[in-house]
Amino acid sequence: MKGFLLFLLAGIAFALLQSNVLPVFLSPNWRPNLILILVLYLGLSESLFRALTAGLLLGAIQDSFCGPNLGLYISVYLTIIFVTRLLCEQLNAESPPLLLLLIAGGTLLQNFLVGFYLTILADDSPVLHILLPAIPQQLLSNLLFATIMLLLLLRFQRLFGYRSGLAGLIYQSKHHGT
């Protein structure tokens, strides 16, 4: 429960950061999606039920901080969590480069899903003019921020106690037997 609340608080802090602080320093294309990084980490490190519940709430928080409609990021993040679960059962999820690769893949998948939903369901096809050119910058900034967050997490994870492996992936293996 403590960990779950920590994820939610981190999500709210990231939403405020993305909405309030990062716009002062970075143009929209270079702003990382910190909540996406958190969702991918959730998909890897938490049980399916907790990951889905937290993913749902994080999606709703992100929906409240961006765009006009509630539901878009809820759907996108649940899909990403499901895909992450499927992938991490097949791969060695304890490898640090793999986590970064997952973040790259997650960024691409998120852009694809957002583009798909907005084009097919919301009929906002001009959004592709905004989304597509921004993908390389999004990839770079997400990877850069994920690396920084990983380094910080590794440095401070002893404070949180139970996690001794990289990004909590050993914790994940304890829980899911991967």
Partner 1 sequence: MRELLRRYRFVFLAAALMLATVALYSYNLRQKTATTFFERAVLTVSAPFLSGVDGLVDYVSDIWGDYIWLVDARRRSLELEEQNVKLQAQLQEVQEVSLQNDRLRKLLAFVDDLDRPALPAQVVGEDASNWARTIIIDKGTQAGLRTGFPVVAAQGVVGRIIKIAPNSSRVLLVTDASSAVAALIQRTRTRSVARGRGDDLSIEYALRDADIQTGDLLVTSGMGGVFPKGLPLGVIESVEKDQFGLFQQVKATPTIDFSLLEEVMVIVGEDR
**Is the sign of the CA dihedral 36, 98, 45, 158 positive or negative?**
negative
Q: How far is the CB of 175 from partner 1 (least distance, A)?
A: 16
Can you tell me which of 52, 58, 93, 99 binds partner 1, judged by CB under 8 A? 52
Give 59 or 106: the residue with its C-beta nearer to partner 1: 59
Q: Is 93 in the site for partner 1 (CB under 8 A)?
A: no
Question: Closer to partner 1 at the Cβ: 31 or 163?
Answer: 31
Binding of partner 1 at residue 68 (CB under 8 A)?
A: yes
Any long-range contacts for 73-79 (C-beta under 8 Å, 24+ apart)? Answer: 73/35, 75/113, 75/117, 76/110, 76/113, 76/114, 76/117, 77/35, 77/36, 77/39, 78/52, 79/109, 79/113
Interface mask (CB under 8 A) for partner 1, residues 118-147, using x and -? x--xx-xxxx-xxx--x---x---------
Nearer to partner 1, 23 or 96 (CB): 23
Q: What are phi and psi of 32, to 5 degrees?
A: -75, 155
Q: Which of 69, 92, 95, 164 binds partner 1 (CB under 8 A)?
A: 69
Q: Which of residues 17-46 bind partner 1 (CB under 8 A)?
A: 18-21, 23-24, 27-29, 31, 33, 35
Q: What sign results for the dihedral spanned by CA atoms 12, 130, 104, 154?
A: negative
Torsion of CA 45, 79, 75, 137, to 10 degrees: 80
Residues that bind partner 1 (CB under 8 A): 12, 15-16, 18-21, 23-24, 27-29, 31, 33, 35, 48, 52, 59-72, 74-75, 78-79, 82, 85, 114, 117-118, 121-122, 124-127, 129-131, 134, 138
